[in-house]
Amino acid sequence: MEALPVIDVGPLGAGGPEEAAVSRAIDDACRRFGFFYVTGHGVPDDHQARLDAEARSFFALPEGAKRAVAMERGGRAWRGWFPLEGELTSGRPDRKEGFYFGAERGPTDPRVRAGIPLHGPNLFPAEVPGLRPAVLEHLELLTALGHRLVRGLALGLGLDPGWFDRHLTADPLVLFRIFRYPPEAEPAGGWGVAEHTDYGLLTILAQDASGGLQVHAPGGWIEAPPIPGTFVCNLGDMLERMTGGRYRSTPHRVRNTSGGERLSFPFFFDPGWDARVLPVPLEGEGPAEARARWDGADPLAFDGTYGEYLLSKVGRVFPDLADDVLN
């Protein structure tokens, strides 16, 4: 059975042969799987435990309390709670509910004043006062980790270590989700989340002990079970496009058959809103061979800013909300 590699990213940023070895391991994982686990990430275990506890307290609230922070109240910032089957993946309702967050930006921020979508304040429930500090700390910790990981990606691609931050992620667009999958042996339609790829640059996922994540590895579908103290990292469509297919955005899916609820915490570290997503200057290699995707899409075909690209995607996830707040 194939298994995703586990990489200690502690040496990233230190230079020297240890950092070079880590970058080679990341490069190999990105070429083979587009997925890998990371240890040595610097996020304290007690932080993740606190975030998990606060999230469970929120999802245990009555629906009326959760609707007070529903996404339709978040407007163009695209923040807040959505109910079970309120989000679509590949055109099908997911068997999960969730809460959307992003970088905290107040009304004086120029991007908020300009009405740029996905920029603004987060919504937090009054009934769970500990959720706000836990989420904002998570955003800070994982943004720092994202900068370290793209350093490793740059070195693995033979670029200078600051290439991504200089061209794309100096001011990254960071989005964070908390998802709850209800306990059910066979979700309606077969999957909590259907087969899909992530459409950004890099996803950093914390998952609870329930399991259920599957990855389409070269040899077929494999489990990506929870490993204590790790995050699961995977590449999005933009990185596949930038590398001409050297690095793959790998399909994955979720089924919760644990007998209890399942919580997952995906964090998306993406190019800045105005960043133009251009090919990475790779020496000695042409574009990878084209491959068929289940959705018929071609990640290599996009040309434009990341904000333009992202808006073309988010409306497919919440089409009714997009009609109300993004037009």
Q: Which two tokens stand for residue 17?
A: 């042969």
**What average pLDDT does this structure show over 306-326?**
74
**What average pLDDT does this structure show over 27-52?**
96
pLDDT at 291: 62
pLDDT at 186: 56
Instruction: Quote the CA–CA distance of 45 and 307 in Å, as a whole number.
Output: 33
- Residues 9 and 149: beta-carbon distance below 8 Å: yes
Q: Which two tokens stand for residue 81?
A: 């709670």
pLDDT at 89: 74
230 HSE (CA, 13 A, CB side): 19
pLDDT at 285: 62
Q: Per residue in 175-215, pLDDT tens?
A: 999 999 998 755 455 678 888 999 899 999 999 999 999 99
Beta bridge partners of 8: 39
Mean pLDDT of the chain: 89
Phi/psi region, residue 222 (left: phi>0; alpha: psi -120 to 50; beta: rest), is: beta
Q: Which two tokens stand for residue 208?
A: 């609870």
Instruction: Quote the CA–CA distance of 292 and 298 in Å, as a whole number.
Output: 9
The identity of residue 152, as a single letter, is G
* Per-position DSSP letters for 120-135, written without gaps between them: B-----TT-TTHHHHH
Instruction: Name the pLDDT band for 257 (thresholds 50, 70, 90).
Output: confident
* Per-position DSSP letters for 15-52, written without gaps between them: -HHHHHHHHHHHHHHHHHTSEEEEE-----HHHHHHHH
- Residues 100 and 74: beta-carbon distance below 8 Å: yes
Q: What predicted TM-score, i.e. pTM, was given to this entire model? A: 0.92
Instruction: Name the pLDDT band for 87 (thresholds 50, 70, 90).
Output: confident
Question: Which uninterrupted H or E stretch holds 214?
Answer: strand 213-217
pLDDT at 281: 79
- How many residues are given for the chain? 327
pLDDT at 120: 95
Q: Per residue in 91-128, pLDDT tens?
A: 777 889 999 999 999 999 999 999 898 999 999 999 99
Helix (H, G, I), strand (E, B) or coil at 147: helix
Q: Which of 302, 262, 267, 295 is nearest to 196 (CA)?
A: 295
